[in-house]
Structure 1
Amino acid sequence: MDESSIARYILDRFPGIVPVQAWGETSFFYNPGRALPRGVYFATLKSSDGDNDRASQLDRPSVFRLNIGVGKAIYRSLFGAPPGRPAAGGVVDTAHDFTALDTVLPHPVYGWMSWVCVLNPGPATFESVKPLLAEAHGLAEQKFRKRLGAAGGVRSMRPTVT
């Protein structure tokens, strides 16, 4: 699997997703109709190290990481209790090798928030994360509805492209 294939899968499979490219990653927000300023993070594809995230060594040639925001129950079923929040610039305290390819892992920085990741997923591993993407999409929908309600149901004034 490559980044563009994964991005296509996400955009084709899950409605209401808006991709945003910034900081060496493509972030996928659930934001149907762009009703909220940003929407709700759902997943990201990251292909380079950032200031606070070097644990996966993404600056290796052709290495990228798929990050997925799953719920606590799914996270616990995979890895046990989420780790504590790391200090600024640190990584979560687990025994995982965050440089391992084609392996579902806790996210090295956001594992404490029940995010998981996989570097360069192969076809079989990607099949195993499809339910995780569906879980994350469902959670993003729920959070979106709450935020939209808190915002008074305000809709974007941007025209809809048809």
Structure 2
Amino acid sequence: MTIDEIIALVAALDGVLTVTPGPDDGSPEISWGDTFFYYAPNGVAPTTTQPFATIVTKNYPGDEKSRLDRPAAFRVNVAAGKESFIQWTGRAPRETADDVDPSVTDTVIAHPVYGSAGWLAVVNPAEHTDTTTRELLHKAYDLARARYERRAGATSGR
């Protein structure tokens, strides 16, 4: 999968806001060129929720072991829920595991920084993880949409 294929897949889902920060939007320079996906049917980036998935194209501070500074390297990060996390890692999110190389490609792993929060990651998804990455992105979308709808129902007095 390419970055453009992932963006097209997720952006086509109903209510998704795709944000790709750049130099003219006031966002931090470290985020420029990365992509963030929110469930935001009103088209406004939420200020109180995290994206449900991201694509990062470079190392962030504390995440140098992912080696995203390699040519054409990128990582898809997905908040696909505790059940998916356990299915793919064999452990609960809060349990630590330092035995996985975060730079491994085409493999579903616990996110090297946000794994404890239940995030999964795939560096350069390809043949082995194409279908799984798509499924995880859809799962994360479904969870984000359900959270949004629960919150909207709570604020409308339902």
Q: TM-score range by the shorter chain?
A: 0.7 to 0.9
Structure with more contact order per residue of length (Cα contacts < 8 Å, sep ≥ 6): 1
Moved over 6 A (4+): none
Please tell me whether the aligned partners of residues 30 and 137 of structure 1 are also in contact (alpha carbons under 8 angstroms).
yes
Counterpart CA distance in 2 for 1:52 and 1:141 is 30
Shift of 1:117: 0.7
Q: Unmatched 5+ residue regions in structure 2?
A: 22-30
Counterpart CA distance in 2 for 1:69 and 1:10 is 13
Does residue 1:60 correspond to 2:107, yes or no?
A: no
Moved more, 34-43 or 138-147: 34-43
Distance change (3 Å), C-alpha of 1:9 and 1:67: same
Counterpart CA distance in 2 for 1:35 and 1:148 is 15
Aligned residues: percent identity? 32
Shift of 1:37: 3.2
Does residue 1:15 correspond to 2:14, yes or no?
A: yes
Counterpart CA distance in 1 for 2:128 and 2:84 is 19
Does residue 1:43 correspond to 2:53, yes or no?
A: yes
Please tell me whether the aligned partners of residues 36 and 54 of structure 2 are also in contact (alpha carbons under 8 angstroms).
yes
Please tell me whether the aligned partners of residues 82 and 113 of structure 1 are also in contact (alpha carbons under 8 angstroms).
no
Distance change (3 Å), C-alpha of 1:20 and 1:79: same
TM-score for the superposition, normalised by structure 1: 0.79
For 2:100, which of 66, 72, 96 is the aligned residue?
Answer: 96
Tell me what 2:24 maps to: none
Letter in 2 for 1:20: V
Does residue 1:130 correspond to 2:139, yes or no?
A: no
Deviation string, structure 1 residues 32-73 (Cα, Å, up to 9, x no partner): 113673455211000011123223111111100011111111
Please tell me whether the aligned partners of residues 82 and 111 of structure 1 are also in contact (alpha carbons under 8 angstroms).
no
Please tell me whether the aligned partners of residues 70 and 135 of structure 1 are also in contact (alpha carbons under 8 angstroms).
yes
Aligned residues: 145
- Normalized per residue, the structure richer in strand is 1
Q: Unmatched 5+ residue regions in structure 1?
A: 86-91, 154-162
Does residue 1:31 correspond to 2:59, yes or no?
A: no
Please tell me whether the aligned partners of residues 47 and 63 of structure 1 are also in contact (alpha carbons under 8 angstroms).
yes
TM-score for the superposition, normalised by structure 2: 0.81
Please tell me whether the aligned partners of residues 94 and 116 of structure 2 are also in contact (alpha carbons under 8 angstroms).
yes
Letter in 2 for 1:71: G
Distance change (3 Å), C-alpha of 1:149 and 1:36: farther
Counterpart CA distance in 2 for 1:126 and 1:65 is 13
Counterpart CA distance in 2 for 1:111 and 1:3 is 22
